Amino acid sequence: MARVTGLWVYQTLGKRPDPDAVAASAQRHGIQWITAQAIEGDDMLDRDWLRGMRKATAKRGMRLGVHGFVGRPRPQPIAEARAMVKAIDNADADFAIVNAEIQYEKSPRPDSKTFVREYRRLKPEFPSYFSSFGRPKFHPSLDFAAWANGDFDGMPQAYENLNAQALKPADCVKDWARFFPRGGLRPTLGCFAENGKGPLPVTRLVRSVQDVPGLRFNVFRHGTVKKAELEALHAIS
């Protein structure tokens, strides 16, 4: 079983990447699906680019997801849920990833439940993931249970590169399994540098996957992940 199968791709971080080049490179490294940035808050982004990603992945037999960071500049759960649904339809996506973090954590309203209720009214059975902080125990104000109860699978941001003590994938998976079925978890590896903290050594990156048996992983993100990292991750079985 391939262990690292997905790649996050953005259209607003730097020059918008060419869909065909992204898909070709990803496939060479064993990536089976791509998730393409589609919304920011309740704003739909470039529709033509999304359709280009659909075309590029379809001709290679790859799955395409759409994702977006909701809550910016403040949560608007109904509008954001509707924007995500439009993005799914525009891209003819196979699945969706909703990324909700500090804005939904700090909101005094039941915004997570409101988003989930509206989204599931429009897409009652569509395969969907919830992406957020790597350790729910450190973010008790975010309603992880609302997303799990709405039939979202969990996608922990297991960014060990940012916090080697707290965000090891094995610990993130254990924590998320309090809310989501473990078998449906798809941890995201951090292959980027931020705030003076660089990527993990490749040997440790590989080991972090091996420490979590039976689950598939994905990589954050295209544009920062290195060829050597993709090659090493592809070799894990």
pLDDT digits (tens, 9 = 90+) for 43-70: 999 999 999 999 999 999 999 999 999 9
- Residue 55's pLDDT is what? 98
Q: What is the largest CA-CA distance in the chain?
A: 45
- Residue 108's pLDDT is what? 84
Assess whether pLDDT exceeds 90 at residue 97.
yes
Among candidates 109, 173, 171, 199, which has minimal Cα distance to 146? 109
109 — pLDDT class (breaks 50, 70, 90): confident
- Read off the pLDDT of each residue in 230-237 and give the average, rounded to a whole number: 96
Are the C-beta atoms of residues 169 and 217 closer than 8 Å to each other?
yes
pLDDT digits (tens, 9 = 90+) for 118-139: 999 999 999 999 999 999 999 9
Q: Say if residue 205 is exposed, middle or buried (CB neighbours under 10 Å; 0-12, 13-18, 19+).
A: buried
pLDDT digits (tens, 9 = 90+) for 169-224: 999 999 999 999 999 999 999 999 999 999 999 999 999 999 999 999 999 999 99
- Read off the pLDDT of each residue in 13-27 and give the average, rounded to a whole number: 97
CA distance 180 to 130: 10
User: Per CATH, which fold does 4-234 belong to?
Assistant: TIM Barrel (3.20.20)
Query: What ranges do the domains of the chain cover?
Result: 4-234
- Residue 79's pLDDT is what? 98
Assess whether pLDDT exceeds 90 at residue 1.
no
- Please, what's the b/e burial string for 81-115 (b: 16 or more CB within 10 A of its CB; e: otherwise)? bbbbbbbbebbebbbbbbbbbebbbebeeebbbbb
237 — pLDDT class (breaks 50, 70, 90): confident
